[in-house]
Structure 1
């Protein structure tokens, strides 16, 4: 072959190769492993402590991107949008503290996201809407102290969730409800359980984890623990006790009632407001005034309007509490001595525990004539 033609052919093939295989980002390495549809699969590895941000010139054909042991601390919006073919995103053992909720845009094929070994105290759960095919989420060894209930909306498709080695002490019930007890004969349920990593967290073994305990003990469940030997860190009586050996009652939302729902009192008289509540754990109670009387500003009792206008509502009331001899029952009372027109209005008794909040309302109306004598 003519040497000039051979040189031109070599140059042409080199240019084609460059077009197909963009230059690898600085401080990173690129390798090709495996093939799919006669196409080599690119992996980009960035593992240099000098790297402080996600490279901007990432190859668009990248299937796996690994960012490991760098100085990157923030992941900005659309940081990986230049890699629409990405299936695996590993951002492990960096210094990441903040992830923008739209960091994972334009990643329709992302299957695996690993963020192990970072400094995350929060995670943008709503950002998972951009990765509908995500199945693996690794958050091992971070600083997560709480999983918000809304996170459950975005974890329904996850089959591997690692929350181990964080600072979690409980999980929201709506999240636990994603992994119900199942029967092997029930073909409507998924046959492969969700793998869940919960070990090495300071779990408080109370009623909030009762459902999780039931699922973890069940012979047939849609959840499999990476490590079944979880340990309770609290309450004090259960510290150090294996999770699988405790007995936990389920939380019950408070139920609260008042002695009456409407009271009409004479001007200057004394009024007793009382409410009773049940629940597990035993609810805490609080009385507060929440609204002025309905007839306020309708011409009644003009001489008291000024003082009523300065009253800031809601207003917590001083009250006294008496626990029942039975666990889970409590009552609370408040005394209004020498009531005046400004005491009229709506009073609420609020009962609260780990399972929720309930309220009962009492309407107080004050009637009678004021003496004009001085």
Structure 2
């Protein structure tokens, strides 16, 4: 029985990156032997055990054979006869197919260390094309390591294109797809993830609403980058630079979906794209089963992001309606995330990356002004029900009028 550290822990140590999760492979052991040594079994798909002291996962070395469609269409075989090399060859990338023994000796049968040094993401074997999830995984690794100069080997991109064209991506469950997408969006270069999916044909299979943005022009005066798809990639880049949470990154990816259905005869203008995009955002949200907070923010940003950009021009009554739409009185954080998404959108334009966005502080001040209005004086007047609601609305509107006037005065002064 031999135990090896494998996969990401080996890769990241060689890269000089922090090692967070450690995976272990056990060669030459049976399930019964693992139980006798105190390991606790978990899962049902293949033999995985938790170490009796550390709780870390230890998997028996195994081989796999394609038996059906999609990520789950495999038959696994684990036995003491399975070698370390046989276990490693079923992995996705050479940089993930290395192992270390307890003394730190490296086993690298497929050239992972060489590819690390060459900054290449390369598949281990042709069996790569049997698992559609690997398209998303490789795109995610490209996003993670783009800052280190990594690129995808041309032959691996060819296999990713074959997988995208095969229809097997449709067999991925929403849960598996979302897990990879959400992790990729939180990498340092989420725009690279979307770019890779676009380049290999996977984006049109998984998120056709986003794919439709590429090649769609916008007015050059407002969008020097012109192409809507390129703009969305720039916005994603800004979300990472400003360390935005997942909900903001997801909303930014979807905020302009309406532009993908604008008739060509109306290009480069996109009148009412905020509203034409809502059904598309809703459909993509539901198809991938995004978390509720991501779904809600994406819809609100899609509908109101142009309000955010025009904040300084909005009438107090329109501003009040905007605040009400976000329920800023009970959910102030959601409105703050909306402001962040609007700022990322504004900065995600060629040449505008460092431009100030005064709308952010103005909207924050408006929300604070509206929330500061106390309902107590109205209750003391005996108001209740609809009468109370109307009076509270008027009081907030009056305060927003004062807020706007003061703001304009400061600008003039």
- Does the TM-score normalized on the shorter chain lie above 0.5? no
Structure number with the higher helix fraction is: 2
TM-score (norm 1): 0.29
TM-score (norm 2): 0.27
